[in-house]
Structure 1
Amino acid sequence: MKLLQFKKNDEICLGVKTDFGILDIKEAAQAFEQSVPVTLKEVISHSEEGLAKLTSLVERSISHRNDELFISDDAVTYAPVVTNPEKIICVGLNYINHAKESNMDIPTSPILFSKFNNTLAAHQEPVIIPEGVGKMDYEAELVLVVGKTVKNVSEEEALSYVFGYTAGNDVSARDWQFKTGQWLLGKTPDGFAPIGPYVVTSDEINPNHLTIECRVNGEVRQKANTKDMIFNCATLVSYISQHMTLKPGDLIFTGTPDGVILGYPEEKQNWLKSGDEMVVSIESIGELKSILQ
């Protein structure tokens, strides 16, 4: 199932992507007098039961084809697919070629850093270049949405705690990132973590074999497969859970492949500028678009 959140009358609403458009879950539930989760947080907390109720409602809505319950993709104002995670954990240098292009050692254990909720941005939402930043860069990433509280989980069981997967862009201000040995400043300005447009439930995704791509103004800059990760998704969930408790709705950015501007020879580093369009595309999930301002 492809879930999303969208804005309607100053409210963040839950939708499901279908062949007939985006189903407004709250409107459909009222129309059919059916009790279902009406926020993504509720869906995650109700787990399999919540998804089963949503599936029933979607099937019923499609069979009755009440067009008023469906919204075209073009008419939707997207919200971030997750709006208030307790934690946003990011993984650095998780593809060998990206580590090499960054002139950094290949890690022997996952390199972790964090972003905060202020960084979250939606599909098609502008990303504002902070004043004084001159080295804006993109990082296409597969993002995990945690579905259950998890602590000290084994790699064998780790993926059963993942609710779903979405596309993310770990937007980075390289001149701020490398001011010190800590990367925080360059990773946490407002809007520097676009995610979406959909979160696809884990039953529909094999996270270990997905094509991932980033295009800038239509030009392919990154193209790889998640099978090339140094630490796969199960390893990451297990490793992180050994050091902190993961909660439902937490996000894990799993790292970016090679092809970022930072990896270019210095004379070819044409940093992103206002008006540039970044598109992160991940197989089976969709395209996440962001325009810099």
Structure 2
Amino acid sequence: MKIAVFGPNRRVGVVVGDDVVDVNGAYAKYLTERTDSVRPAARAAHEVPAELNSFIEQGDDALAGANTALDFLSEDSDKTGVDGEQLVFPLNAVTLHAPIEGQSRIFAALANFADHMQAAADNTSNGSDKATLDRLVSGGPKYFIKDPRVVSADGDDLAYPRRTNLLDYEAEVAVVIGKRAKDIAANDFGSYIWGYTLVNDWSIRDNVSFGPDFQYSKNFDGAATVGPWIVVDESLDPQDIPVEARINGEVRQSGNTKSMIHSFASLGEYLSRDSTLFPGDLISGGTPKGTAVDSSTRDAEGKFADDSLFLNPGDVVEVSSTALGSITNTISGSRGGKK
């Protein structure tokens, strides 16, 4: 099931073919016409919420209610709700928002694909940089947080940040947390995964420090594209999901979550120690090789000999997975500092 957030009121919808269905409205119609519910709208708001995090928190009951609503609507020639409102919308006629609420968090794994880190090490001659890369790979999981309040969605333009000349892309797969999790064991983490989505972890590569200000290079308006929806499918193996990045149609990254150094289960165990993960939180698993930063050679001073693989205004960037769909953004504005 593909769970989307759509329209001006940011309602939960289920993508069916080329349409998106307002399942809260469809479930209210089902309750009104097929049951003896006294307050069908109130019951629908509780059982199949229109708000994403409430829908996620409702768990299997919300998914079951959504399936009931879809089955009912497929048999009903009238696709309008109890008050005559539209319930089925063509995908090409609505706005899909990033499927994350503002109060949720994006935990992004750092240095979590060995091939990405090895490629970066191979392309630098600076001993200090090599030591830093080795330190990032060694030991337990490492992560940073991206601000969910300023995420971008599939189809959005991404404004080139003025503070950089070196804007980079990172194709990633993220798991969506389905219930409160604290101090969980890695072996139990699978039951806390509600679904999966794509993330483009946009990154600034100028003068990156892996100290306290590292997050400055990872956070700016639009710095995480999330979507286009959340795939809820228990048959998916979180450690066997392919992901690719294309720049202007050229494949730059092609990887699979099976190559993650620390699995989603290990990340979940680490992040939940003494801290609660909440329904709707995302854990993004890191990126494989093929980013501009790991594909470009740096000299002994850490400067890029050729920065042509970094993004330019007008570039079209697509992150895709055969299991999850695709998100596409166009870079707008001007490359900072370049005349």
**TM-score range normalised by the length of the shorter chain:** over 0.9
Asked if residue 58 in structure 1 is aligned to residue 89 in structure 2, the reply is no
**Other-structure match for 1:291:** 330
**Secondary structure of residue in 1 paired with 2:149:** helix
Query: Which residue of 219, 238, 261 corresponds with 1:230?
Result: 261
Q: What is the deviation of 1:65? A: 5.1
CA change 1:65–1:210 in 2 (3 A) is farther
- Aligned pairs for 1:7-156 within 5 A: 7-8=7-8, 11-19=9-17, 21-32=19-30, 33=32, 35=44, 36-64=48-76, 66=78, 69-103=87-121, 104-105=133-134, 106-156=137-187
- 2:27–2:65: 8 Å Cα contact kept in structure 1? no
Taking a change above 3 Å as real, the CA distance of residues 255 and 15 of structure 1, as seen in their structure-2 partners, is: same
**1:69: how far off?**
2.8
Q: CA deviation at 1:269?
A: 2.7
Cα gap change, 1:20 to 1:170, in 2 (>3 Å): closer
Q: Percent identity?
A: 30
Cα separation, partners in 2 of 1:244 and 1:143, compared to 1, 3 Å: same
Q: TM-score, normalised by structure 1?
A: 0.93
Match of 1:4 in 2: 4
Residue deviations 1:58-80 (CA, integer Å, cap 9, x gap): 12122325455322221121111
1:274 aligned residue (313, 331, 336): 313
Superposition CA RMSD, Å: 1.9
Q: Which has the larger radius of gyration?
A: 2
Q: Structure 1 CA distance, aligned partners of 2:158 and 2:276?
A: 31
Contact 1:153–1:238 (8 Å) recurs in 2 = yes
Question: For the Cα contact (< 8 Å) 1:167–1:287, is it kept in 2?
Answer: yes
Structure 1: gaps (5+ residues): none
Match of 1:245 among 276, 287, 304: 276
Equivalent of 1:206 in 218, 237, 241: 237
Q: Is the 8 A contact 1:143 1:253 kept in 2?
A: yes
Select between 233-242 and 174-183 the one with higher mean Cα deviation: 174-183
Contact 1:168 1:193 in 2 (8 A): yes
Structure with a larger share of its residues in strand:
1
Q: CA deviation at 1:121?
A: 1.3
> Which amino acid is the alignment partner of residue 272 of structure 2?
S
Q: Are the counterparts in 2 of residues 280 and 288 from structure 1 also a CA contact under 8 Å?
A: yes
Deviant stretches of 4+, over 6 Å:
none
* 1:112-169 deviation digits (Å, cap 9, x = unpaired): 1111123311111121112232110000000111111111111111111111110000
Kept in 2: contact 1:93–1:99 (CA 8 A): yes
SS at structure 2 position matched to 1:289: strand
For residues 171-213 of structure 1, give each alpha carbon's deviation from its aligned partner in whole angstroms, at most 9, with x where no partner exists.
0011164396632111110110110001011424211111110
State whether residues 167 and 196 of structure 1, in contact with CA within 8 Å, keep that contact through their aligned partners in structure 2. yes
Report how far residue 101 of structure 1 moved: 2.0
CA–CA separation in structure 2 for the residues paired with 1:206 and 1:179: 32
Q: 1:148 to 1:179 in 2, by over 3 A?
A: closer
* Amino acid in the other structure paired with 1:91: A
2:204 to 164, 168, 173: 173
Letter in 1 for 2:14: V
1:242-276 deviation digits (Å, cap 9, x = unpaired): 25221111111110000000012233432212211
- Find the aligned partners of 2:207 and 2:322 in 1 and give their Cα distance: 32
Give SS of 2:226's match.
Answer: strand
- So what's the TM-score if we normalise by structure 2? 0.81
